[in-house]
Structure 1
Amino acid sequence: MEPAEISASDLLERSDGSSPHILGVGTAVPKTSYSQREILDNFGITDPRVRSIFLNSAIESRALTLPTRRPDGSWETESQGDLLRKHVTTGLAMGRAAIEKCITDTGAHLSDVRYLTCVSTTGLLTPGFSALLIKELGIDRHCSRLDVVGMGCNAGLNALTAVAGWAGAHPGELALMVCIEACSAAYVFDGTMRSSVVNSLFGDGAAAVAVRAPGGAGTGGPALLRFSSCIIPDAVDAMRYDWDDDHGKFSFYLDPEVPYVVGAHAELSLDRLLLGTGLRRSDISHWVLHSGGKKVIDSVRMNLGLTRHDVRHTTGVLRDHGNVSSGSFLFSYERLRDENCIQPGDFGVFMTMGPGSTIEMALVGWR
């Protein structure tokens, strides 16, 4: 069944009284950051093909948690167990920092949190981050929680859909989502072009967002008006995080055709999102895209007819942090919000892309 037609003004009018609103955002990365050239030189990578991938990635620096060094200056080889421990320790530190910043930004208190969703793809643990963070932060033990694991870079919007649904069903209650991606806990170093593409791209980062319904006028944050999903079954294997028998650990795989597959389906996904709203692409003032990589961003930009200015925060996050997976779009949203360029009546689109292959979108609006 297709969505019923509703005017843009009605969308915003309804949002004031019923739609969940974003109230605050917070991001965090490890203290250790490296330029692409520093990473190449630290690991003694001289292959010109690999160096070209790193140095032409549109990434200047990334926060990473690298292995410890041996007495001779070489890097320790990390087992899968070492990587899982890094996922937990780095992830908890980043997640806690992002949540605390988000709560401060919201003007709320940790004791106000009634729902917590944690998103991660860089490791598996039970109990999950949600239980560990509730304990670490002293959040009320009756807080409802959800862990979204293994969905990849698109998962931030998948989870935000669940958070918005919970907030809508519990008016006045504060819900949090935090994306925790310790991508340096998911690396394989073997000198191949497959691993080099991945190793040149991802960085460690966490991003948290606070949501409540109704948001009310004057919150400053956008209303979450609607979501859409588009899975591309023919490209289900194009992005994978699976077991590597040769190395005895998990590793990422990115098909070289990913940027073009995602770009080719971006227009279809956007049309679905806007269907029945009365909005056209030209009515969207703000674009918050996942920083998936230079080619992915360029492909989406070209297929949607966006300008470089439209994706300035997306490319800025890629430049300064690399691809921080599921939380990337919140890093971009934080920059958009801090720019103070948003006007009442503006609409925006959030877009994430990841394994499946999947495109997730959200329509947001400011009153």
Structure 2
Amino acid sequence: MTRIAAVHGTLAPHRYDQSAITDMVARRCLPDGADRRALDRLHRAARVRARHMTLPLDAYGTLDGFGAANDVFIQAATDLGARTVREALRLAGLTAADVDLLVFTSVTGIAAPSVDARLVGRLGLRPDVRRVPMFGLGCAGGAAGLARLHDYLLGRPDEVAVLLSVELCSLTFQRDDPSLANLVATGLFGDGAGAVVARGSRRTGTVAGPTIVDTRSRLYPDTGRILGWEIKDSGFRVVLGPEIPDVVRRHLADDVRDFLDGHGLKPKDVSAWVCHPGGPQILEAVGEALDLPDGALDLSRRHLADVGNLSSSSVLHILRDTLDTRPPPAGTPGLLLAMGPGFACELVLLRW
């Protein structure tokens, strides 16, 4: 089985209270003299206290178009990604030369050469390192990336693989857009990165975390337009449908129960739920659908309150927090899950 050797999360450099971000959004998105009470309610409902952003707050009003924002993404994602991978390798007791595969996921910017390619020389990775850049998975990208890393190591059990997620959501900010979806998104998403270092079953090491037992991916029919991006001249315009919690309630429980049943498990057997915090309503829908006990999603709720939704990076931060603050009993199962555009669900079964 794949062994997780280290998980590390980093955050963008500029931290702001939610109230300061709300004031900026009101200035940039609402017409002069407009009533901002609805915006204030939406941002309070996100239950986010503060977020980290790539640029100083005032700079978001001066970014001129998609190209300028994407140029910032390339530089900042490379810098933050390098820091994140370097520290994850240190925690794993490994060097850059040990890495055989680098998987990179993001949905908040594009680059060719991709960010993973730009990191090879900077980190001292081998020139024959295999690379898998992934785009479009959104908030599910951290879980999906972990699953694809596991797939690779099943076939190459002597090797080491790294997953890197970098999401700079603030750079998708749409000025002069008072739509409900944009106002909700501006109250929810933050900037950060996460990295996982994993070893194949025959690769020895001094640092040992949980193993990946199995994975499952699921696309739900007729839900392709409820979450994602519309690509405009101004950049990424968010699509965020109000029906997402209902889709979660309708489908998630059957998928999770069927997946666990294949391993002789029930939801009550799961010792840790590592759940992407899509937002307060999503977490409530997950808890209701799976009939989870009180406190099962506390780390996800705390993460959301402390730094907001980091898209694909969030579930990796919550995995790190689980390992650091609430390590489950040895030998017990855990479930990592996230949902994203498609509408899709990714499940990763862990054993501690």
1:131, CA displacement in angstroms? Answer: 0.4
**Correspondence for 1:262:** 248
After the TM superposition, which residues 1-367 of structure 1 pair with which residues of structure 2 at under 5 Å, given as runs?
19-45=1-27, 47-66=36-55, 69=58, 75-189=61-175, 190-214=177-201, 219-244=207-232, 248-366=234-352
1:66, CA displacement in angstroms? Answer: 3.8
Which contiguous aligned blocks of 4+ residues in structure 1 show a shift greater than 2 angstroms?
41-46, 65-70, 215-220, 247-250
Where does the alignment leave 5 or more consecutive residues of structure 2 unmatched?
Answer: 28-34
Tell whether the 8 Å contact from 2:93 to 2:206 is kept in structure 1 after alignment: no
Which amino acid in the other structure matches residue 298 of structure 1?
E
Larger mean Cα displacement after TM superposition, 152-161 or 280-289: 152-161
Distance 2:13 2:127 in 1: 31
Which amino acid in the other structure matches residue 197 of structure 1?
V
1:44, CA displacement in angstroms? Answer: 4.4
Normalised by the length of structure 2, the TM-score is 0.92
Where does the alignment leave 5 or more consecutive residues of structure 1 unmatched?
Answer: 1-18
**Correspondence for 2:30:** none
Tell whether the 8 Å contact from 2:25 to 2:186 is kept in structure 1 after alignment: no
Taking structure 1 as reference, are residues 94 and 356 closer, same or farther at Cα in structure 2, changes over 3 Å only?
same
Which amino acid in the other structure matches residue 38 of structure 1?
A
Distance 2:196 2:57 in 1: 33
Tell whether the 8 Å contact from 2:63 to 2:69 is kept in structure 1 after alignment: no
Which amino acid in the other structure matches residue 44 of structure 2?
L
Number of aligned residue pairs: 343
Tell whether the 8 Å contact from 1:67 to 1:78 is kept in structure 2 after alignment: no
Distance 2:308 2:57 in 1: 22
Percent identity, aligned pairs only, is 27
CA RMSD of aligned residues (A): 1.9
Distance 2:181 2:205 in 1: 49
Tell whether the 8 Å contact from 1:27 to 1:101 is kept in structure 2 after alignment: no
Superposed CA offset, 1:182-216 (max 9, x none): 11121212222221011111111110001111166
Local SS of the residue matching 2:61: coil
Distance 2:48 2:343 in 1: 24
Distance 1:44 1:340 in 2: 39
Normalised by the length of structure 1, the TM-score is 0.89
